[in-house]
Structure 1
Amino acid sequence: MAVQLNEDIFKFLNALKENNQREWMAENKPWYLKNEALLKSFYGEIQDGLNTFDHIEKTKVFRIHRDVRFSKNKTPYNVHRSASFSREGAHRRGGYYLRIEPGGKSRMAGGFFNPNPADLKRIRKEFEVDAAPIRTILNATKFKKAFSGLNTNNQVKTAPRGFDIENPANDLIKNKSFVVSHSFSDQEVLSANFKEQLLDHYRLLQPFFEYMSEVLTTDLNGASLLNQ
């Protein structure tokens, strides 16, 4: 029987938001563990679904504990639950993300999160030379309707060092991550077909992943960088 998320998950996260303290969590640990078990079963079904059209190496469930070492916000717990799904193999690049959070803040995302400097430069160089292929993907009717373009919340202000601000592709080049996302209402998250909605959006990412994977596994001349 398929796993369906229920309202209790949102109730717990809302209660945690109002009582973000270790003492409260200790008192409510059984409630937390009950919801974690349901979420992990759901993540497992998402991984199985992804494997029908992609190859997933692993699922990572992010810890509910916050890293407060460098944050002004010292509350100990995240008030959302999230997981990522890593693609398998050096020739498959990019990753999938899921965040469950009440208040209409749940979302899926996919793409290339803070790529390392070499990968970032390679992507930018590709767009500098020819941005037509990526624009075709981003502007495809179904893709654009689902995602509304690359997220722009992680960019340099003008142009990266060594790149011309007048380049027509600078709107793409100045990104430091290359990610698209889609938000879901609480009602959608709790619906019986939420898993299918998620997988439909993840499936739309395939042309994006295939193109970007090709970019990241070849040089500007198209020669493979794998097994070198």
Structure 2
Amino acid sequence: LAALMDDLASRFAKEEIPLTCSAKTSVFRINRDVRFSKNKEPYKTNLGAVATRSGLKKDPGLLYINIAPDNCFTGAGFYRLEGEELRAFREAIISRPGAFRAATAPLIQRGHHFIDRDKLKRPPRGFEGVENAETIELLKLKHIALSKPFDAELLEGPALIDELVEVARAALPLLEFGWRVVDPFREVAGEVPAGRR
């Protein structure tokens, strides 16, 4: 996976996709943090890595790859947004529904689906007045991200890098939509250089 991420960074640079990754900063450790977990198994059963604008895992807006027995998938979008960022994202979905649908359309056309992990049962506080059923379901999401499984056979050859590049290209409209929403928060916190948007 480490070599894959280095190769992927080269392809992103060549294709002028504003994401990067590296073996050192983008791959999640295989060791589990068992301190506060009931499951004391020392190792994860999956490998995961991200590509972001900075190549760091904490950067918002990402491409994710998960490799596990019977659970290989790609994901893209905004995972675990902070409270104010998530609220601003929800407001952007309401105020620019057409732009949001257009931003997610390329991933949906490729067979990606919204990640509904941690989804709320009711609309979030402050959004109870929304009447459009599709919009209500989007507002319940805690992660504005989509994922799609892929066949493990892709791991055996160079086709995986091509697939990841195509997923990244399809994700760009959503990432750019989201960066416009979250970057002002990150600039105030000093996490995003001003003008990177």
Q: TM-score, normalised by structure 1?
A: 0.70
Match of 1:21 in 2: none
CA distance in structure 1 between the partners assigned to 2:21 and 2:44 by the alignment: 26
Q: Secondary structure at the match of 2:116?
A: coil
Match of 2:92 in 1: 126
Q: Max radius of gyration: which structure? A: 1
Match of 2:76 in 1: 110
Instruction: Tell whether the 8 Å contact from 1:66 to 1:78 is kept in structure 2 after alignment.
Output: yes
Which of 172, 181, 198 is 2:138 aligned to? 172
Unaligned runs of 5+ in 2: 186-192
The alignment-based identity, stated in percent, is 25
Q: Can you list the C-alpha shifts for 1:153-205, whole angstroms capped at 9, x where unaligned? A: 23111111111154322111111111111211121222331211121111111
CA distance in structure 1 between the partners assigned to 2:35 and 2:96 by the alignment: 42
Gap change, CA 1:66 and 1:88, over 3 Å in 2? closer
Gap change, CA 1:165 and 1:190, over 3 Å in 2? farther
CA distance in structure 2 between the partners assigned to 1:191 and 1:55 by the alignment: 22
CA distance in structure 2 between the partners assigned to 1:130 and 1:55 by the alignment: 25
Q: TM-score, normalised by structure 2?
A: 0.80
Q: Secondary structure at the match of 1:205?
A: helix
CA distance in structure 2 between the partners assigned to 1:65 and 1:78 by the alignment: 6
Instruction: Tell whether the 8 Å contact from 1:54 to 1:87 is kept in structure 2 after alignment.
Output: yes
Asked if residue 82 in structure 1 is aligned to residue 48 in structure 2, the reply is: yes
Asked if residue 95 in structure 1 is aligned to residue 62 in structure 2, the reply is: yes
Unaligned runs of 5+ in 1: 1-38, 220-225
CA distance in structure 1 between the partners assigned to 2:11 and 2:118 by the alignment: 30
Asked if residue 50 in structure 1 is aligned to residue 12 in structure 2, the reply is: yes
User: Any residues of structure 2 matched to 1:205-216 within 5 Å, and which?
Assistant: 205-216=171-182
Alpha-carbon shift at residue 66 of structure 1 (Å): 0.7
Which of 36, 41, 53 is 2:3 aligned to? 41
Q: Can you list the C-alpha shifts for 1:122-143, whole angstroms capped at 9, x where unaligned? A: 11111233322111232x3x43
Asked if residue 157 in structure 1 is aligned to residue 121 in structure 2, the reply is: yes
User: In the alignment, residue 117 of structure 2 is paired with which amino acid?
Assistant: N
Q: Secondary structure at the match of 1:163?
A: coil
User: Any residues of structure 2 matched to 1:6-45 within 5 Å, and which?
Assistant: 39-45=1-7
Instruction: Tell whether the 8 Å contact from 2:117 to 2:142 is kept in structure 1 after alignment.
Output: no
CA distance in structure 2 between the partners assigned to 1:81 and 1:204 by the alignment: 23
CA distance in structure 2 between the partners assigned to 1:190 and 1:211 by the alignment: 34
**Aligned pair count?**
180
Give the superposed CA RMSD.
2.6
Alpha-carbon shift at residue 149 of structure 1 (Å): 3.3
Which of 27, 30, 36 is 1:70 aligned to? 36
Q: Secondary structure at the match of 1:56?
A: coil
User: In the alignment, residue 48 of structure 1 is paired with which amino acid?
Assistant: S
User: In the alignment, residue 44 of structure 1 is paired with which amino acid?
Assistant: D
